[in-house]
């Protein structure tokens, strides 16, 4: 009789522990925060300012947050991306002329996640992105500077692989973002900002954008390596932002080396 009672108690304790563990697991929300600094080279051309291209060193910072959504049964993640970039450029032909380029971006959205194999994660979703920026030429005549503003819907895909090299846990990751539809501010050919904002001569200055008139993409590939208790991130960031609106062309091509760190936190829902 005592043996039966003991077995019953043990069984009840195990069942209770299993239920509690499952409840705690379901209530934990994983949050990943990544800070990246990058340095490399950019090439910028804006025919509103000059027909020439400008190239030179550029730097940037990118802060990425990713967490599990409160809905979707653990298969949906929420992402936020915040970036700042600056370039110190010189005219490619002739030299002597300099340009400064800067931009800010903020994006947020969702991804649906699949795990087809152990350690492998595939994700696809969409982001809404706001970008602001401008270019200034040291000698630009009556219009030495040009501003940019755009809101775009972005298709986003992620491939992530956790693996081991010997006893060292590593993570390889690639994310590709492609703007699909949106709106962009642009003056017309020969139209000054004074005419737009002071005289009120608006002329379809907010334009509909799509991959045919604004083909753009951002690729971020990283490798995460543990260093002590920290997790170091190294990789490559390539970005192409282009537009051809009102007979004005703008492009900014960037190639940069990335270094940073990632921090993973667990929060109770």
204-262: pLDDT as tens digits: 889 999 999 999 999 999 999 998 878 999 999 999 999 999 889 999 999 999 999 99
Q: What are phi and psi of 170, to 5 degrees?
A: -125, 160
Instruction: Determine the distance from the C-alpha atom of residue 219 to the mean position of all C-alpha atoms in its chain, rounded to a whole number.
Output: 8
Mean of the pLDDT values across residues 160-188? 94
pLDDT at 7 over 70: no
Kindly report the average pLDDT of the chain as a whole number: 86
pLDDT tens digit sequence for 99-134 = 999 999 999 999 999 999 999 999 999 999 999 999
Find the range with the poorest average confidence among 9-13, 74-78, 160-164.
9-13
Q: What's the CATH code, domain 2-268?
A: 2.40.128.100
Longest dimension (CA), the chain: 99
pLDDT at 12 over 60: no
Beta-carbon count within 10 A of 216 CB = 22
Break the chain into its structural domains and give their ranges.
Answer: 2-268
**pLDDT band, very low/low/confident/very high, at 265 (cuts 50, 70, 90):** confident
pLDDT at 11 over 50: no
Terminal C-alpha separation, the chain: 44
The Cα 158–Cα 175 span in angstroms is 4
pLDDT at 90 over 50: yes
Mean of the pLDDT values across residues 165-177? 95
User: Between 79 and 24, whose confidence is greater?
Assistant: 79
pLDDT tens digit sequence for 66-83 = 998 888 888 999 999 999
Instruction: Please report the pLDDT score of residue 266 as a whole number.
Output: 61
Mean of the pLDDT values across residues 137-142? 74
Sequence-separated (6 or more) residues with CB below 8 Å from residue 178: 154, 155, 156, 211, 216, 217, 218
Mean of the pLDDT values across residues 51-63? 95
The Cα 48–Cα 143 span in angstroms is 8
């Amino acid at each position: 009789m005592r043996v039966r009672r003991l077995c019953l108690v043990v069984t009840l304790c195990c069942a209770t522990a299993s239920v509690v563990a499952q409840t705690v697991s379901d209530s934990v929300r994983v949050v990943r925060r990544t800070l990246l600094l990058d340095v490399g080279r950019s090439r910028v051309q804006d025919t509103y300012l000059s027909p020439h291209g400008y190239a030179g060193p550029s730097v940037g910072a990118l802060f990425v947050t990713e967490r599990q959504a409160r809905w979707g049964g653990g298969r949906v993640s929420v992402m936020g991306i915040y970036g700042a970039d600056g370039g110190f450029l010189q005219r490619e032909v002739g030299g002597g002329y300099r340009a400064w380029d800067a931009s800010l971006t903020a994006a947020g959205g969702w991804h649906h996640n699949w795990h087809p194999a152990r350690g492998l994660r595939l994700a696809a979703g969409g982001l809404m992105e706001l970008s602001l920026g401008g270019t200034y030429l040291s000698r630009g005549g009556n219009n030495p500077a040009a501003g940019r503003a755009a809101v775009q819907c972005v298709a986003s895909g992620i491939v992530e692989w956790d693996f081991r090299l010997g006893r060292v846990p590593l993570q390889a990751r690639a994310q590709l973002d492609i703007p699909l539809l949106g709106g962009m501010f642009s003056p017309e050919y020969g139209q000054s900002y004074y005419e737009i904002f002071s005289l009120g001569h608006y002329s379809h200055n907010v334009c509909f954008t799509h991959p045919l008139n604004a083909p753009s993409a951002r690729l971020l590939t990283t490798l995460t390596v543990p260093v002590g208790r920290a997790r170091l991130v190294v990789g490559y960031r390539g970005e192409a932002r282009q537009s051809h609106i009102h007979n004005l062309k703008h492009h900014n091509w960037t190639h940069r080396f990335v270094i940073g760190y990632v921090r993973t936190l667990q929060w109770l829902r």
